[in-house]
Amino acid sequence: MEELPIEPRGIFWQSDFITVDHEQKLLQKFRHELQWPDSKGSSARLSLHYGYTFDYKTFGVDPDIPYKTFPDWLEPLIPTSEGRPPEQVCLQYYPPGAGIPPHVDTHSPYDQLYALSLGAPVIMQFRLGDQRTDVDLIPRSMMQMSGDSRLHWTHGIKKRKRDTLSDGMIRLREERWSITYRWLRKEPECDCGDEKLCDTAQRRLGIEREYRWKQQNDDSAIPNSS
């Protein structure tokens, strides 16, 4: 994979991770064979999880949801560059116009992540303060987010019916699927120290505040000796 020469740093890219033919077979399966959660008529994003399911309360693997074996069709789509299979894989369906709000994937459970794009292209926007970088997620490309792009910039896909490309062209949104891959860290801690975006840094800051507050109260409890 090659790093994109842009800000944020840390986006690695491989075009044509699979062939057009392979992609067509997958889309056929996604459209006609997979059991998606009931969208109840809404046009929002839908997700299917494989492997372990992440628990946002404990920031760890959800012990109540059993491990879901990777289906055969997923095996050849797994990046091998981490030297072991990911613990969690998420397949998402974006109907035309759907998006995902700007976010960072929670820092403490996993480090870098990978995403494979399938179907129609879409613009993903990276943000840091008032800086914005648009990345065109073209079909069959594998993207790895590491470093700044993973930890210090948010990423999201705007909910809208058309994207404006860098050359001014307008592109209509169509159906898109993505597969995201996550590897759990050995210890669920991140040392990046970003108090705005990092859950570990925020937790440590909370502990520090609590400690200072406790200290103050303990001090004031000491009887005045004069």
Ligand X SMILES: O=C(O)CCC(=O)C(=O)O
Question: Which residue ranges make up the site for ligand X (CB under 6 A)?
Answer: 90, 92, 100, 105, 115, 117, 137, 155, 178, 180
Non-local CB neighbours of 208 within 8 Å, separated by 6+ positions:
none
Residue 175 beta carbon to ligand X: minimum distance, rounded to whole angstroms: 13
| DSSP structure string for 89-106 | EEEEEE-TT--EEEE---
Query: Given the complex with Fe ion, which of 12 and 226 has the nearer CB atom?
Result: 12
Q: Which does 141 bind (CB under 5 to 8 A by kind): ligand X, Fe ion, none?
A: none
Residue 86 beta carbon to ligand X: minimum distance, rounded to whole angstroms: 13
Stretch that binds Fe ion, among 26-34, 46-54, 100-108, 159-167 (CB under 5 A): 100-108
Query: Given the complex with ligand X, which of 65 and 207 has the nearer CB atom?
Result: 65
User: Does residue 111 bind Fe ion (CB under 5 A)?
Assistant: no
User: Does residue 105 bind Fe ion (CB under 5 A)?
Assistant: yes
Place of tokens 């399911």: 53
Choose among 105, 177, 107: nearest CA to 139. Answer: 177
The residue number whose beta carbon is nearest to ligand X equals 178
Question: Cβ-count burial of 217 within 10 angstroms (0-12 exposed, 13-18 middle, 19+ buried)?
Answer: exposed
Non-local CB neighbours of 144 within 8 Å, separated by 6+ positions:
1, 11, 12, 13, 79, 81, 112, 113, 114
Residue 90 beta carbon to ligand X: minimum distance, rounded to whole angstroms: 6
Residue 160 beta carbon to ligand X: minimum distance, rounded to whole angstroms: 15
Query: Given the complex with ligand X, which of 60 and 121 has the nearer CB atom?
Result: 121
User: Which contiguous run of DSSP H or E holds residue 162?
Assistant: strand 162-164
Pairing mode, strands 122-128 and 154-157: antiparallel
Residues making contact with Fe ion (CB under 5 A): 105
